[in-house]
């Protein structure tokens, strides 16, 4: 059940038809994204549109060779961006504050809200999208490749294009697992089993815990990404110590 008849059903699309988007369509999607709410009016995000074919191939290589990155008519990198507002302050001779943790937090929220609106706007006109967290795999090289300055942090990519597949709607955990009343409560074993069953069909093995372990388990993909991400956060000015 959905409350909103306007929201198109969402499915990530990984196979795209080769037709490009009509002229000006990407700009219209970005205009929709820009209507997202934004903390303190900051609009702390940038989209880097990857148009050059050779650059796109290189970004795909750095992201685990995901074919849809090369084949999608449009590919944007969503970035947290506190640089632009810092430059506004400097332009008016104001001294920018130092707030790497807060900046990362709010810029990530702003960027993600804007990107979700872009995805919703794309799906509303029949386009397909898939977010690409795989950019974290080669994040240090990516920052160099796109000449991202301090204060700008790549978060994820978004492929956009006309769908060349019709995947089934993928499952989610039970609403009771994500909706808490007044206080947070951990799931009991029964609820965990209920979610494992609900998510089984999204996996090849039928075992969602195995998929989660591949990503989030000891030695998994997230641990492998950790060192590069930390170095990039530091390089881009989003690192902090207990002292400051």
Ligand X SMILES: Cc1cc2nc3c(=O)[nH]c(=O)nc-3n(C[C@H](O)[C@H](O)[C@H](O)COP(=O)(O)O)c2cc1C
Q: Note the residues at the interface with ligand X (CB under 6 A).
A: 10-12, 14, 66, 130-134, 156, 170
- Rounded to a whole number of angstroms, the minimum distance from the CB of residue 14 to ligand X is 5
Our CB check for ligand X shows the closer of 11 and 105 to be: 11
Residue 236 per-residue DSSP state: T
Our CB check for ligand X shows the closer of 78 and 143 to be: 78
Distance CA 82, CA 237 (A): 10
Place of tokens 């970004």: 59
Our CB check for ligand X shows the closer of 103 and 128 to be: 128
Our CB check for ligand X shows the closer of 12 and 86 to be: 12
Distance CA 228, CA 237 (A): 14
Place of tokens 């009016």: 41
Distance CA 11, CA 170 (A): 7
Our CB check for ligand X shows the closer of 170 and 210 to be: 170
Distance CA 102, CA 244 (A): 12
- Rounded to a whole number of angstroms, the minimum distance from the CB of residue 101 to ligand X is 20
Our CB check for ligand X shows the closer of 11 and 96 to be: 11
Phi and psi at residue 81, in whole multiples of 5°?
A: -145, 105
CA distances, 21 to each of 7, 66, 128, 134, 209 (Å): 21, 21, 11, 24, 38
Distance CA 116, CA 210 (A): 28
- Rounded to a whole number of angstroms, the minimum distance from the CB of residue 10 to ligand X is 6
- Rounded to a whole number of angstroms, the minimum distance from the CB of residue 197 to ligand X is 17
Our CB check for ligand X shows the closer of 12 and 177 to be: 12
Here the tokens at position 133 are 């967290």
- Rounded to a whole number of angstroms, the minimum distance from the CB of residue 89 to ligand X is 30
Q: Which residue is nearest to ligand X (CB)?
A: 133
- Rounded to a whole number of angstroms, the minimum distance from the CB of residue 8 to ligand X is 12
Beta bridge partners of 47: 78
- Rounded to a whole number of angstroms, the minimum distance from the CB of residue 66 to ligand X is 6
Distance CA 204, CA 51 (A): 34
């Amino acid at each position: 059940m959905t409350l909103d008849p306007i929201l198109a059903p969402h499915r990530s699309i990984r196979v795209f038809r080769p037709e490009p988007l009509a002229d000006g369509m990407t700009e219209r999607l970005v205009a929709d994204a820009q209507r997202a709410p934004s903390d303190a009016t900051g609009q702390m995000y940038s989209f880097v549109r990857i148009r050059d074919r050779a650059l796109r191939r290189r970004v795909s290589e750095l992201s685990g060779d995901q074919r849809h990155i090369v084949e999608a008519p449009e590919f944007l990198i969503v970035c947290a961006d506190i640089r632009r507002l810092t430059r506004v302050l400097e332009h008016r001779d104001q001294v920018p504050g130092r707030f790497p943790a807060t900046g990362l937090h709010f810029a990530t929220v702003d960027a993600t809200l804007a990107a979700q609106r872009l995805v919703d706007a794309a799906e509303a006109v029949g386009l397909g999208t898939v977010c690409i967290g795989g950019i974290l795999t080669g994040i240090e090289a990516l920052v160099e490749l796109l000449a991202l300055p301090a204060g700008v942090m790549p978060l994820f990519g978004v492929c956009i294009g006309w769908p060349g597949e019709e995947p089934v709607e993928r499952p989610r955990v039970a609403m009771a697992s994500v909706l808490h009343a007044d206080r947070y409560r951990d799931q009991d074993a029964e609820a965990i089993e209920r979610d494992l069953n609900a998510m089984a069909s999204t996996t090849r093995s039928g075992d969602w815990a195995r998929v989660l372990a591949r990503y989030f388990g000891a030695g998994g993909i997230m641990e492998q990404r950790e060192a590069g991400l930390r170095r990039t956060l530091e390089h881009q000015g989003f690192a902090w110590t207990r002292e400051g």
